[in-house]
Amino acid sequence: MATREEILKHPRLHLLPQTSQLRALMSIIRSKDTGRGDFIFYADRVIRLLVEEGLNHLPVVPKTIETPLGEKYDGVAFQGRICGVSIMRAGEAMEQGLRDVCTGVRIGKVLIQRDEATAQPSLYYSKLPSDIAERWVLLLDPMLATGGSASKCIQVLHEAGVQEDRIFFINLVCTPEGADMMLSRFPKLQIVTAAVDDGMDAKKFIVPGLGDFGDRYFGTDE
């Protein structure tokens, strides 16, 4: 398995610039003393930064436009359309951040749960845009621990005709183990994250982590 230092240098892992602002935001959402209202507010800020970083890596084509002064400006336009796919339920917390940046964006949903008999992730529900194979996909899930659910979701996207190099996995915190597994298993996948943590504890929680993101965001830990 790759070390944390090796993962941080991986060309297909895009770590948000570790600015003072980001470190302050992450300190707030990692703290056990942060209430739900502040957790939502500051998590949403990080999510928006992640979505914007993801868009930075999408291909563009030249586009010349005319300004209100009648002057030409040689700019660019995104090459093709995008959509979001959230891994329920925690991934749904990231949908608004995508909508805030991309108006009218289509969003699909996938529900994957661990089968108690086999201990393997199983698909329970999938609703994807009918033309998803023609789009660039931002896969949304805030935490990447073992990578089991995300791996299963990418298989679902493959079956829907999405090419691997069109998938950008957006998350707040990942482990070296999870990132290594995903990048090795899917050699054209790209990951955009705010943090690569130390690893997992015996219960497969990310450490130092930020707890259960879905429970804290949706208030089900209260």
Note if 99 is an active site residue.
no
Which one of 114, 115, 185, 220 is the catalytic residue? 114
The answer to whether 139 and 157 are in contact (CB under 8 A) is yes
Burial class (CB in 10 A: 0-12, 13-18, 19+), 194: buried
Nearest residue to 94 (alpha-carbon basis) of 54, 146, 50, 126: 50
Identify the active-site residue in 64, 67, 103, 118: 118
Catalytic annotation present for 141 = no
Which entry of 36, 48, 106, 215 is annotated as an active-site residue?
A: 215
Is 165 tagged catalytic? no
Q: Is 212 a catalytic residue?
A: yes
Alpha carbon of residue 216 to chain centroid: 18
Active site residues: 114, 118, 212, 215
